[in-house]
Amino acid sequence: MSSVDDLIAQRLKKLKNEPEISSSAVGATGGLARVPRKTDAECIDELLEKMSSEVQLDSAGESRSVDVDSEIQARLERLKDWTRKLQPSPTKPALRDVVDQVMADVAVIEISEPDTPPSGQEDDADELPWCVICNEDAALRCLGCSRDLYCQRCFKEFHDEEDEMHLSEAYKN
């Protein structure tokens, strides 16, 4: 029967594309001979080689990381230098501060000196007696708006927070 078993085993190996095993490789138990194991020293040496190669790979990655970090830091320093050059020096006033000061001066002048005709006399002959916005009968003259005429409603509606300081006088036909 062992010949039948051997024949079946050979056919099975051919189907699985396995190499044929010689009779000397078959052990006393009838199974395949075992591959000789490595000694503990060989296993330790192999593990040490693997670990040293991994350490080398890690250190190479870290050096690349350090290079990238130093490059980014250098770029950041160049940007900081560039922004320092763009900022105004502390001895010169900032443009925004100068503009704010001029606007405040102009506002003080407008409040303190309402518009009056240079001749001192009003030129009422050419003036039409209605509101410059809605054409209702005029009730007020705004001294801060080139002496324009307004009805009560339009004067309140169109003089916002900036124009609240405008002085007005009653208009008489």
What pLDDT is recorded for position 10? 87
Within 10 angstroms of residue 68's Cβ, the number of other Cβ atoms is 10
Give tens-digit pLDDT for 7-18.
898 888 888 876
Give tens-digit pLDDT for 88-123.
666 666 778 888 888 888 877 766 655 555 544 455
What pLDDT is recorded for position 120? 44
Cβ-Cβ contacts under 8 Å for 152 (sequence gap 6 or more): 139, 140
> Which residue stretches of the chain have pLDDT < 70?
1, 18-36, 88-93, 110-126, 163
Which of these three, 87, 110, 144, is where a domain ends? Answer: 87
Residue 148 to residue 166: CA distance in whole angstroms: 11
What pLDDT is recorded for position 92? 63
Decide if 133 is inside a domain. yes
Report the number of distinct structural domains present in the chain: 2
Range of the domain at 138: 125-173
Please choose, from the candidates 117, 147, 112, the residue with its C-alpha nearest in 3D space to the C-alpha of residue 132. Answer: 147
Domain of residue 147, CATH code = 3.30.160
Cβ-Cβ contacts under 8 Å for 115 (sequence gap 6 or more): 143, 144, 145, 146, 147
Decide if 76 is inside a domain. yes
What pLDDT is recorded for position 160? 76
